[in-house]
Chain A
């Protein structure tokens, strides 16, 4: 980061231990189970896995401790070795722990550790126990590499690594074809995002000739005068194009419109995996990436607007689907999509701190919810339908209480964590009126509010249907109910505590003042990363701020980002509005579902039949994609193969005419007389023809048309491209050089 001193620190240990744990369990796990016996073997397997994450957690804490206590240093770095290099490209395996990655690492190792522990109980009977823990460790390592990477390429290593682990864990029970397919779908959708990531990297690379975050930040420091803004590729400023591509990557990883459909399917994986990967960590990687590159994103107001819109729309869209789902995990999955939408809404508004704050709080309460649902599913003998649950609070007191706390948190009930983090986002949305997109923020704000209402409603619908009322499943399940075990309850309690009190890290300014100056700890901590203003040298920022027509620095221009607060009354009113909305949602859910699905609920479903069907059918996005993309791709592949390959083969007659080309077969059969010399002649004629065409075709001579640049003085030389070509225009006498050329000129002399 600019102006920040960096000190070397052994960061490699943080991802190394989970990696070693994964290797150990992959290679020796099965052997252990065989040698040491099933029970002891399992003990050893999970001890290794948990110890690996615990070590990693320990190293993270010690690194963060160091960072906190060394004055004047903002980031710890480590360069492992030069990884890929050629020409001027030099990609090192460099790690960086600044305040942002510190937060992420704490969440990954902390929540990761709890989920590893929970898994011991959840995966108890699974025959592939070592493989499970190996993948989980591998995931943790990849995720840590993702957030610790000091350059986009290293981040990409983690980015892809978590994608693979997600693929492996979603399809963990691979004998079920649909689960394996869900994994494949997740991976491919992520790959579509990766295409964007790669293109984004290339565009940044051509501008900076490096992919280090530090170098990119330096290149951005010119603000609107930096090459990112002044230069264009394909007619679009590089900053805008690159960030749009990167955001495509984010939509894949973080399940935003249009690439969100994999996340609900990903629920096929074991539930702790859903908690860790598909709620707390991996899916937030997109948010992390945008915040990490915030200095670049602010240079692209168009992208920022796109992100804000996509985030707001996704938040509402997914929330409306979650309202009618009956699978406990599906509700939570759509809820995750929706909450990620909030985070993108925040980053789109330039509220980096709020996005990360919500990310962390979401990690706590969503992990708790998922783990709670895991406990419920286990208890209900792997039935996930909430219509067949109810009254479980009686059997599972700890789970139901922690679940309730998390529901309150996600709904935004005051003093719980979601209240602080979600309100902060909505507040930013309301306040950040950008000139570029008049009123866009208000639309986003309204979408956010509606989503908040839906959130409160579907979460409490879920809670009441699961834990309250009478049990609606079969008698057998109720009787042979699996009880709670401490190893599964303990993580729940810890997470619920965090979900309840974590929000105190980010007490809003106005409330903090009231009770005597409690600071917004979170914002203060992230300031070195998120405080944009100091990144840009004065001229750049000054230009942007003083010019009212400038599109740049969306979200930075507001008084907000400069001194960190808005007027107290506005803040209080906003708070009141969102609390009202949340309470209304809860009240409605209570009205309809406190004693199981009521008649009223059915009536509403009927009255709003169309809306209900649309929501219940998830807007048929999957079907649309299937018919619009998946099938056509397969069809094109088939056509290419059958028409081109097969037809050519048959035309040449080397392979027998088969039925696949029956429609042309008879025509071609006459050629197919088995005379090899004849084939050779035909082939030769063809190649000669192609060569002749290649040569005769004027375009080949005109490739790179002799557009002699008049600014180059070639010293009377008349280069031309052979007799067939038009002689170029005579070189003009030295014309005035454009500002950029002197470098080349200097090199020439």
Chain B
């Protein structure tokens, strides 16, 4: 079972090699092979779901073999509640993308399919890596095929958009690499000569506040560009608009999620002290993004650009959830990642459908499509309502959890988070404004353009593409339990771990030490929340209200909770010291 992850990485590479040997004119054959491989990949990935142990916060399906042993770089992969469903989303969206772009990708099919499959490897690799160098490798690997997909198969200004995408992302990556190396060196020094890039090991390093600040923001630089957070978002609309439909879907569906995933997995747990101090800035940027993205989306005349800006808005919610460092916030952020992937993916596919038929994305070219394309309108409407966060659809669950988590529990980590939530919630109104605007411009009114009079409704192929998305958008909104029950334990553990290490960092800072130490050398963190509250203040509205914490599935977690996977080993030693 534990080889599933490796199979997931190898399978698309094999596929990519096969299709790239095909002659260039065999576009359909290449797409067919790609489709077969990616469907197979999806089926393989389903075994992750069936084999996933409920109620376990830690990594599952772990594989750990040395790669560059001199430097302690390992091939260490695993899956937990944060990554599980995003992996599944990736493996689901890839075949849908190939199928959805069947017609629109009419040149260099083999290369395209190969690029898409390599991209899939990069994304899955980044999601399962538990070694920072391995993660970085896959992180960079994603960049190249995406660059090609935008630059080769995009629209008119594809090259400019691709270059912009590349520059932005590269810059973030460079900073992150520096921070990774810095962290490993700190570990080397703190342990007296052990090289490792393993996440779990580096997690034990407690940097000084100054070091944490630098490393944290270096990581955040990379992730914030990917998300994209407000001031560094300008690559996104161009990349989306110029990318071919499959590119946009993958970009919005998965690539952006890697930014928030990176925050959850790396930036926050590794540097909790700096994170705790930085959440206010991140939160403010996120909320600006929510409002700004929505306002700007409203004035777009290009349908795709509108949806792209809506991503800026939605991703702001996810970052806000992460900033709250609460169980609900983390779970909500992960869930919302899925929700956004599905709804925005569906919207981009829908706009792709229109582009295929009319070769334009200008809103003014459309109108009255509901008359000629009823099924398309229905699909679009479900995706739109899901995106707007209608209860009973996927968007609501995540949004609600994020807001609850931030409002009720975010005060320990982020000052002023209630005010941020208040402003962010205005995004709920604006979300409806631009989405309904988009919907009306496309679907309602009389058919003013004669070219739209004989548009064909969804073909069977397109219906097959939309069906799983629609089913999930509604299904996950009505019955999110299978998802929440797998994400929650990990969120529980992550919050506890974050607070523990944040507390340790405060202790470490209090000792006036000027170098990093290991967690095991610090004690006095029996009640992290209390110490954090004492030092930083606690803005949670009513922290004194006793709350029963056990949930049906989380109760086993609660027992093993405070020392999440690794700290568990360290607890006894703390006592000894």
Contact = CB atoms under 8 A, between A and B. Distances in A.
Q: Do A and B interact with each other, yes or no?
A: yes
Contact of B446 (A177, A691, A720, A722): A177
A84 B299 contact: no
Nearest to A30: B374
Contacts, number: 267
Interface in A75-97: 81-91
A188 B296 CA distance: 17
A637 B391 CA distance: 27
Contacts of A721: 209, 273, 277, 506, 509, 535
B437 A86 contact: no
A717 B415 contact: no
A748 interface: yes
Interface in A273-304: none
A177 B448 CA distance: 11
Q: Give the most central of A86, A684, A694, A715: most B CB within 10 Å.
A: A86
A640 interface: yes
Interface string A688-700: 0001001100001
B217 A691 contact: yes
Nearest to B403: A202
Interface in A140-190: 153, 156-157, 160-161, 164, 167, 171, 174-177, 180-181, 184, 187-188
Contacts of A617: none
B503 to A, nearest CB: 9
B488 to A, nearest CB: 5
A640 B296 contact: yes
A633 B426 CA distance: 13
Nearest to B335: A86
Interface in A636-651: 636-638, 640-641, 644-645, 648-649
A476 interface: no
A628 interface: no
A712 B326 CA distance: 23
Interface string A564-606: 0000000000000000000000000000000000000000000
Contacts of A82: 481, 552
A740 B328 CA distance: 25
Nearest to B428: A195
A383 B211 CA distance: 75
A202 B407 contact: yes
A654 B443 contact: no
Interface in B422-455: 422, 425-426, 428-429, 432-433, 436-437, 440, 443-447
A231 B385 contact: no
A258 interface: no
Contacts of A723: 210, 512, 514
Given A191-B428, A719-B509, A649 B535 contact: no
Contacts of B473: none
Interface in B351-375: 368, 370-371, 374
B95 interface: no
Given A157-B392, A704-B276, A87 B160 contact: no
Contacts of B214: 691, 695
Interface stretch (A205-213, A326-334, A500-508, A663-671): A205-213
Interface in A693-749: 694-695, 700-701, 703-709, 712, 714-715, 717-725, 728, 740-741, 743-744, 747-748
B507 interface: yes
Contacts of B280: 703
Interface in B382-427: 385, 390-392, 397, 400-401, 403-405, 407-409, 415, 418, 421-422, 425-426
Given A184-B437, A695-B214, A717-B510, A202 B281 contact: no
A88 B549 contact: yes
A637 B313 CA distance: 13
A177 B542 CA distance: 49
A454 to B, nearest CB: 33
A194 to B, nearest CB: 6
B546 interface: yes
Contact of B397 (A84, A636, A641, A725): A84
Contact of B547 (A174, A180, A209, A649): A209
Interface of A is mostly: helix
A652 B213 CA distance: 28
Interface string B32-70: 000000000000000000000000000000000000000
B331 A160 contact: no
A602 to B, nearest CB: 38
A198 B396 CA distance: 11
B100 to A, nearest CB: 23
Contacts of A728: 535
Given A86-B332, A175-B371, A719 B535 contact: yes
Interface string B534-561: 1111001111111111011000000000
Contacts of B425: 195, 198-199
Given A88-B547, A153-B391, A231-B541, A206 B407 contact: yes
Contacts of B535: 704, 706, 708, 719, 721, 728
A272 to B, nearest CB: 21
A611 interface: no
A227 B537 contact: no
Contacts of B426: 195
25 contacts: A86-B327, A87-B491, A87-B551, A88-B547, A88-B548, A88-B551, A175-B445, A180-B440, A195-B426, A209-B547, A231-B542, A636-B295, A637-B295, A637-B299, A655-B238, A656-B160, A676-B167, A683-B171, A695-B213, A704-B276, A704-B535, A704-B536, A708-B534, A719-B535, A721-B277
- A-B interface, 6 closest residue pairs, ranked by CB to CB distance from nearest: A722-B209, A704-B536, A87-B327, A719-B510, A180-B444, A637-B295
Given A91-B400, A687-B221, A694-B217, 17 more contacts: A30-B374, A86-B332, A87-B327, A88-B551, A184-B437, A202-B421, A206-B407, A206-B542, A637-B296, A637-B298, A640-B296, A641-B295, A645-B296, A704-B277, A704-B537, A721-B277, A721-B509
